Amino acid sequence: MSDASVDLAYIAAPASDEALQSDPPKDLYPTGLYPAIEPYNTGHLNVGDGHRVYYEQCGNPTGSPALFLHGGPGGGCGERSRRFFDPDVYRIVCLDQRGCGRSLPNAGGEWEKSIYENNTGKLVEDLEALRKFLEVEKWTVVLGGSWGSTLTLSYAIAYPGSMEDLILRGVFLFSPEEVDHLFQDGSTSSQNPEAWEMYAKYIEDTSHDFEAERTNFLGAYYKRMTGQDETVRRAAASAFVGYELSISKSFVDMKRIKEVLGDISHLIPFALFEVIYMLNAGFMSRGYLLANVNKIVEAGHRVRIVHGRADYVCQPKAAHTLYKALKAEGCKDVTLEFVAGAGHSDSEPGIIDALVRATNELGQK
């Protein structure tokens, strides 16, 4: 995909990077990703409602089962997802959630079919169906980041006996405050004024009544992403995803932004599902996750929480709130690690370091 076909019209210019954070010295953090590996098994699981969920297995076929849950919603898994786990220790399972990645239908080509019965409850049931299909007695570890942390918590609450331990990165609890902070009230402009300005400006420039639409930016983006004009759908998705990716790292990764905006099978699911889930409060009642952490504690799960200190997408206080809630319920083995200088993305070296240390720890018997 050439740069000419990537819509960067509403992407804020990156800050300077004289400290080379986008390409840090390789020895800055002692723990990195494991070497790239290929799956030994892939497939599509028919989960009903017209959806076939892509899954892959990597690493040791007789190892400890580990499940990786991607963010978004709609972000999909990639080859990096496999590399947070020691392939000699773990049987690594990754899947693309309904409507995104290699799952079918993909919102990039069949958005109306992809959103049918696409909600948190259905995704949780898909995870449990996959566990049974793969004949996994219990997941040794479930690792979820960003939206994946939300889904991990939801899965652990619904099926606490289906897993042993949890690793959560970039915690998002789906409170109204978190949703408004990121997509409605302009709170992110405190640290990222240009990015927020462009997020709002796209709606202003394409609106017949901006005073009304500015009261519900998510609704305005949803209207454009689900219209009949494919050019408008893609432009709206580019502005929306470009905004989030612009604030996801401690530096702006223009290469990554161009990759995502240039791939319609990645761009459209990422934008569309995120808007839909945000508009519907994650398809959960208010405060659901915090109100049910006792189920995680009662199951005896060990919990490792990793959060970038400079995370502008998912607020650090969400991680702290979850940690305190687990402790208050009597969780005996929960840790919270704030990573200095790191933002939201699991591609930042400090986040990688913390996550791999966590999988190494929990993989020991």
Letter string b/e over residues 260-288, b meaning 16 or more CB atoms within 10 A of that residue's CB: bbbebebbbbbbbbbbbbbeeebbbeeeb
- Quote the distance between the C-alpha of residue 205 and its chain's center: 29
Scanning the structure block, which residue is given the tokens 């080509």?
109
Scanning the structure block, which residue is given the tokens 């018997």?
365
Q: Are 189 and 196 in contact (CB under 8 A)?
A: yes
Q: Are 44 and 129 in contact (CB under 8 A)?
A: no
Question: Strand (E) positions, the chain?
Answer: 41-48, 51-59, 64-69, 90-95, 139-145, 163-169, 302-308, 334-339
What distance in Å separates the CA atoms of residue 74 and residue 266, rounded to the nearest whole number?
A: 8
Q: Are 10 and 201 in contact (CB under 8 A)?
A: yes
Q: Are 103 and 53 in contact (CB under 8 A)?
A: yes
Q: Are 12 and 246 in contact (CB under 8 A)?
A: yes
| Active site residue ranges | 146, 311, 344
What distance in Å separates the CA atoms of residue 318 and residue 100, rounded to the nearest whole number?
A: 26
